[in-house]
C-alpha cells in the first residue's frame, strides 16, 4: 500500500544487459504499467550502439514506448541511440502520460568509445529538468556522473529526483551527488542493477539480477532537508503547534541537518516550514553564496 502522506511518486526501474529485443522489453514495460506506476526508467541505449541502427525520435522504439505510456497513463524515460540529421546522439526521451515526447536529454559527456563509433556520438548541449505532475525531474546519462558541473546545474534548476540511465552500476559517485545536492537519484543500468539514493545521500535501495531486474520504489518529494542554523527556534514553534502534522524524520547532528516530513495526508512539510520562516538547506547555501559573492565585489 502506498503511503499517501507527502508527495509520493512511484518509480519502476528496469535494468538489464544489451541483447533483449524491443518486444521483450515492451512486454515488461506493459506489465509494470498495468501494475500502476508514475514513472518507468530504462537503461542507457538498451538496444545497443553497435548492435542496433540509430533511430530518429519517430522510430519504432520511442513509438512503442509512447503507446505504452498512453495506455497505462505513466511517464517513461526511454533512452535511445538517436539520429538527428547528420548528428548521432545518446538520448533519454521523456514521454508523458499521454505518450507525448515532452523533452529529450542528449548526453553531454559521451564516453571515449562513443566518440569512436561511426558516425561518432555528438555532445549534448543542455541539462534537462522537466516539470512533471509529480515534481521536477532531472536526467543524466552514464559518463555524465563524472562531471560535477552538470549535477550543480541540475540542483540550480530545482531537480527533486534525477534518473540516471547507464551502462555501469554507478555507486559512491552518485551517492556524493545526492549528498551534495539533496535530490533523489534513481538508476537503471545495463549492469542489471538499480540503486536509489536519498536526499541525504543514504543508499535506500540496491537490487540486482543477472536477467532483468525490476526495482520499485516510492519516494516522497515533499520531504525537506534543513540546516540547524537560524531554524531551531522556528522548528520548536512549528512542532509545538503542528505535532500531528509534521515530524523530524531524521536528525544528522554531525552535519547539523534535519529532515522534515508530513505525518498525514493533505499536509506539506515544505509549505508548512516556509510558513514558519524556515529555510531549506539548498536555499540557505544559495543565499549564503550570493551574499558572499556580493561581499567580494
Predicted confidence (pLDDT) per residue in 247-274, tens digit? 999 999 999 999 999 999 999 999 999 9
Residues 6+ apart with CB under 8 A from 74: 32, 33, 37, 38, 39, 40, 68, 97
Same domain, 277 and 148: no
pLDDT over 50 (residue 279): yes
State whether 104 and 236 are in the same domain: no
Domain assignment present for 2: no
Q: What is the pLDDT of residue 179?
A: 97
Is 93 among the domain residues?
Answer: yes
Taking 80 as the threshold, does the pLDDT of residue 26 lie above it?
Answer: yes
Which CATH number covers residue 29? 3.60.110.10
Q: For residue 240, how many other CB atoms are within 10 A of its CB?
A: 8
Residue 212 shares a structural domain with residue 229? no
CA distance linking residue 19 with residue 40, whole number of Å: 20
The yes-or-no verdict on residue 231 having pLDDT over 80 is yes
Host H or E run for residue 191: none
- Pair (138, 173) in one structural domain: yes
- Does 214 share its domain with 229? no
Task: Give residue 285's domain range.
Answer: 224-296
Shared domain for 277 and 152, answered yes or no, is no
Residue with the bigger pLDDT between 113 and 159: it is 159
Average pLDDT over residues 71-100: 97
pLDDT at 48: 93
Q: Does the pTM of the predicted model rise above 0.85?
A: yes
Q: Whole-angstrom Cα distance, residue 242 to residue 247?
A: 9
Output the pLDDT for position 187.
98
Collect all residues with Cβ–Cβ distance below 8 Å to 263 and sequence separation of at least 6: 5, 244, 245, 246, 247
Number of domains in the chain: 2
Three-state secondary structure call for residue 88:
strand
For 94-109, b where at least 16 C-beta lie within 10 A, e where not — what string? bbbbebeeebbbbbbb
Q: Among residues 220, 252, 274, which one ends one of the domains?
A: 220
When pLDDT is averaged across residues 67-85 and rounded to a whole number, the result is 97
As a whole number, the mean pLDDT across the chain is 96
- Look at residue 239 and give its three-state secondary structure: helix
Query: Is 3 within the bounds of a domain?
Result: no
Picking from 220, 236, 268, the residue at the C-terminal end of a domain is: 220
125 and 249 co-located in one domain: no
Is residue 3 very low, low, confident or very high in pLDDT (cuts 50, 70, 90)?
low
Render pLDDT for 108-140 as a digit per residue (tens, 0 to 9). Answer: 999 998 888 888 999 999 998 999 999 999 999
Three-state DSSP at 13 gives strand
Cis peptide bond prior to 119, omega within 30° of 0: yes
- Do 272 and 140 share a structural domain? no
Residues 155, 156, 157, 163, Cα dihedral to 10°: -20
pLDDT (mean) for 42-49: 96
Domain boundary among 201, 220, 239: 220
Reading the block at residue 84, the C-alpha cell is 538527428
* pLDDT class of 293 with cuts at 50, 70, 90: very high
Rounded Cα gap, residues 97 and 62, in angstroms: 14
**Same domain as 251, residue 160:** no
Residues 216 and 96 in one domain: yes
Give me the pLDDT at residue 141, please.
98
Residue 54 lies in a domain: yes
With bands split at pLDDT 50, 70 and 90, how would you rate the model's confidence at 1? Answer: very low
Kindly state whether residue 230 falls inside one of the protein's structural domains. Answer: yes
Q: State the pLDDT confidence band at 51, using cuts at 50, 70 and 90.
A: confident
Residue with cell 509512447: 66
| Backbone phi, psi, residue 199, to 5° | -65, -15
| Predicted pLDDT of residue 2 | 47
Check residue 4 and give its pLDDT. 58
Whole-angstrom distance, CA of residue 49 vs CA of residue 73? 29
235 and 119 housed in the same domain:
no
Q: 117 near 83, Cβ under 8 Å?
A: no
Amino acid at each position: 500500500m502506498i503511503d499517501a502522506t507527502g508527495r509520493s511518486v512511484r518509480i519502476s526501474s528496469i535494468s538489464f544487459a544489451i541483447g533483449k529485443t524491443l518486444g521483450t522489453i515492451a512486454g515488461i514495460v506493459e506489465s509494470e504499467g498495468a501494475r500502476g506506476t508514475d514513472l518507468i526508467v530504462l537503461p542507457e541505449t538498451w538496444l545497443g550502439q553497435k548492435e542496433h541502427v540509430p533511430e530518429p525520435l519517430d522510430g519504432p522504439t520511442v513509438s512503442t514506448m509512447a503507446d505504452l505510456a498512453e495506455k497505462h497513463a505513466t511517464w517513461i524515460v526511454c533512452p535511445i541511440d538517436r539520429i538527428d540529421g547528420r548528428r548521432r546522439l545518446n538520448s533519454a526521451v521523456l514521454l508523458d502520460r499521454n505518450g507525448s515526447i515532452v523533452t529529450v536529454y542528449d548526453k553531454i559527456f559521451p564516453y571515449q568509445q562513443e566518440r569512436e563509433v561511426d558516425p561518432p556520438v555528438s555532445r549534448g548541449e543542455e541539462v534537462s529538468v522537466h516539470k512533471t505532475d509529480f515534481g521536477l525531474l532531472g536526467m543524466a546519462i552514464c559518463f555524465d556522473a563524472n562531471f560535477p558541473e552538470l549535477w550543480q546545474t541540475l540542483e540550480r534548476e530545482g531537480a527533486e529526483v534525477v534518473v540516471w540511465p547507464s551502462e555501469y552500476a554507478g555507486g559512491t559517485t552518485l551517492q556524493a551527488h545526492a549528498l551534495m545536492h539533496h535530490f533523489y537519484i534513481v538508476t537503471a543500468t545495463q549492469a542489471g542493477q538499480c540503486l536509489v539514493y536519498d536526499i541525504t545521500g543514504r543508499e535506500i535501495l540496491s537490487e540486482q539480477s543477472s536477467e532483468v531486474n525490476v526495482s520499485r520504489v516510492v519516494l516522497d518529494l515533499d520531504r525537506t532537508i534543513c540546516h540547524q542554523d537560524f531554524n531551531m527556534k522556528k522548528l520548536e514553534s512549528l512542532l509545538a503547534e503542528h505535532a500531528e502534522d509534521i515530524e523530524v524524520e531524521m536528525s544528522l547532528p554531525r552535519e547539523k541537518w534535519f529532515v522534515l516530513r508530513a505525518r498525514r495526508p493533505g499536509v506539506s512539510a515544505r509549505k508548512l516550514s516556509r510558513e514558519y520562516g524556515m529555510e531549506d538547506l539548498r536555499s540557505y547555501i544559495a543565499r549564503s553564496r550570493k551574499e558572499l559573492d556580493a561581499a567580494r565585489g
